[in-house]
Amino acid sequence: MGNKTSSGQENPAYMDKGEALFRGKTQKKDSRSRHMKLELIPAILSHDADDAQQKAELCAGHVSTVQLDVMDGSFVKNTTWHNATQAKRWSKRLRIELHLMVQDPLKVMKSWKHIPQFTRAVWHVEANVDSTKILDWCAQHKIQGGLALKPETPVEAITPYLYHPAFSRALILGVHPGQSGQKLIPSTKKKVSQLRALRPKLPIAFDGGISLRNIDSLAKNGVTAFCIASAIFKTKDPKITIQHFLDKLDRIGHVL
């Protein structure tokens, strides 16, 4: 069965197969609005297990998912901590998404597959890998898959994968990958509407340069998930900052 009908429209049967795979039983339909629920995903960039766990514990009870930034020193210059065995002791209330800024994402994913909290992996379309093969692996292991785009990469780079049943979301980088605290590159925002035109119901995450000042415009432009690192963890009280972002998203969600 193809992903398009003869008229060129999305095939609902195909979409249902993909939706059922990546949403999971714990995700409930948002009854407040006809729009997709807006999601805050704190991004953890750490160089040791203790720092990563401390950040994860700050998030537990406030959000359902955290993103762990994984860097290998090759795809990007920096390296980060990403020991799966040590992460196993993190709160069972948190789901873990891996943002894989690495040359061999599948190798990392296989090392994490035994971790119950690991539910989603996002790797870069720019990596020299077979993304269809990785998405097939995700489908086999019931892991949500996604692809990330660097600021200079056009959205067309991920069009071959948009309707794979395991493809759960796109991640648009508003900054160059490798370090947190950068300013958002304005030209990256147009990719949201471009992706929305290609697959209207696709969850679209945005990572980099997000603040309480610009999160409104990103949401109105079509972003559904907001991956935030320094704007949370470099504040005096990250828990309060998380709540400020959640309150803001709640207000935006009622307006959209």
- Listed as own residue / partner, the contacts of 18-26 with beta carbons closer than 8 Å and 24 or more positions apart are 18/163, 18/164, 18/165, 18/166, 18/167, 18/168, 21/139, 21/142, 21/144, 21/165, 21/166, 21/168, 22/120, 22/144, 22/145, 22/166, 22/167, 22/168, 22/169, 23/168, 24/119, 24/144, 26/64
For residue range 70-89, list pLDDT tens digits in order: 999 999 999 999 999 999 99
Residue 131's SS3 state is helix
Question: Where in the chain are the domains?
Answer: 33-255
Q: What does each of the 256 residues of the chain score in pLDDT, given as a tens digit?
A: 444 444 444 444 334 444 444 344 334 443 333 456 899 999 999 999 999 999 999 999 999 999 999 999 999 999 999 999 999 999 999 999 999 999 999 999 999 999 999 999 999 999 999 999 999 999 999 999 999 999 999 999 999 999 999 999 999 999 998 777 788 999 999 999 999 999 999 999 999 999 999 999 999 999 999 999 999 999 999 999 999 999 999 999 877 6
Rounded distance, CA 44 to CA 179, Å?
11
User: Which pTM does this prediction carry?
Assistant: 0.85
Beta bridge partners of 10: 4
Rounded distance, CA 60 to CA 256, Å?
27
> What homologous superfamily is domain 33-255 in, according to CATH?
Aldolase class I (3.20.20.70)
Rounded distance, CA 226 to CA 256, Å?
16
State how beta strands 65-71 and 144-149 pair: unpaired
